[in-house]
Amino acid sequence: MQLTLLYLGDLHGRLDRLPRAFSAINHVRARVAAEGGACLVVCTGDTVDRTIPAAALTGGRVALPVLEAMGVQALVPGNHDADWGPAAFARWCAAARFPVLLANLAPTAGIWPGVRPTLSLDLGGFRIGLIGLSTPMLSNALGPTVTYESPLMAVEREAAALRAAGAATVIALSHLGYAYGPEVAHWMSPDEITDIRLAEAGLDLDVIVGGHTHTELEAPVHVGRTVIAHAGCNVDRLGELTLSLGDDGSPTAWSGRLHPIDTRWPIDPTISAMLELALDEAGRFAPGDLA
């Protein structure tokens, strides 16, 4: 059995590129289906940011119906998804019609509608577990309305629960960043838990699909027992990671690549129309009405 993950992250409002990205997604989906495999489509956050007028008009929500129409099955929020503050972020979470995963942040009071720490899916007869992890920058954006937990502690707890519930493969959707280095030193702390550090900790993770540092990994990397995949930013690339699953459903081998999103892929008319509708609806309201 083969499980193929298709991943986008750090869109930063480049919604205009999504109709071509959807054509690439459908191309891979068709190939995987013909080979008897299963697909999982995920997003690793920062769907928009403050520079996008339609995002400002909707408190960041403009991207969500388009991602839903593309078949995204799970998303971890990034720090820019909270650019409009705690109340807007709660409405952003509630507006998502697919699971929003966040295991290491929680509101200090109440809940975020639609948000859960993990997701368990039956794909091809195997149980797959996903955990959402996000950066301290998201916590900073939301201020005292949230509590932040170390990703190490969150993974230890949630991976154990997913395994106990029958998950043969455990995947983290991460907006922690790939690694600390000079190129991120002006906005990332050197002691932050990144994807590399998470993998080096030897926790019970098979895969990390990450974002935040805009890292392009042309092929996923293996760190300890964990495979790490990143697709860059701005919908320039679609990531593809294929896991070969053994008889017990655990990964036995993997391969991966990035697909450039350019004119080789046609503009999908359905997603293009959905995007036009979302932008039109955003333009009907003043910022105060929706943000």
Question: pLDDT grade, residue 285 (50/70/90)?
Answer: low
**Strand boundaries in 72-220, DSSP class E:** 74-75, 100-101, 105-107, 115-116, 118-123, 126-134, 146-148, 169-175, 207-210
Instruction: Look at residue 64 in the predicted model and tell me its pLDDT.
Output: 96
The Cα–Cα gap between 21 and 19 comes to: 5
Q: What domains can be seen in the chain, in order of their start residue?
A: 2-290 (3.60.21.10)
Dihedral of the alpha carbons of 197, 201, 203, 209, in degrees to the nearest 10: 10
Q: What is the pLDDT of residue 206?
A: 98
pLDDT digits (tens, 9 = 90+) for 30-39: 999 999 999 9
Q: Using the predicted structure, report yes or no on whether residue 23 has a pLDDT greater than 90.
A: yes
- Going by pLDDT thresholds of 50, 70 and 90, the confidence category of residue 289 is very low
**What long-range pairs does 25-28 form, CB within 8 A, spacing at least 24?**
25/70, 25/71, 25/238, 26/268, 27/265, 28/4, 28/238, 28/240, 28/259
Whole-number pLDDT of residue 125: 86
Q: Are 10 and 237 in contact (CB under 8 A)?
A: no
For residue 18, what pLDDT band results from cuts at 50, 70 and 90?
Answer: very high
Q: How many other C-beta atoms lie within 10 A of the C-beta of residue 27?
A: 15
What's the confidence (pLDDT) of residue 57? Answer: 87
Q: What is the mean pLDDT of residues 81-89?
A: 96
Q: What rounded mean pLDDT belongs to the chain? A: 94
- Are 74 and 99 contacting, i.e. CB atoms less than 8 angstroms apart? yes
Four-CA torsion 45, 131, 184, 147, nearest 10 degrees: 90
pLDDT at 291 over 90: no
Instruction: With beta carbons less than 8 A apart as the criterion, state whether 124 and 38 touch.
Output: yes
pTM above 0.85, yes or no: yes
| Angle of helix 269-283 versus helix 18-34 axis, rounded to 10 | 140
Strand partners, 169: 128
Residues facing 8 on adjacent strands: 43
How is residue 146 written in tokens? 């949230």
Task: Report H helices in 167-260.
Answer: 195-200
State the pLDDT at residue 127: 95
Is the pLDDT assigned to residue 21 strictly greater than 90?
yes
Examine the pLDDT at 145 and tell me if it is beyond 60.
yes
H/E run at residue 254: strand 251-260
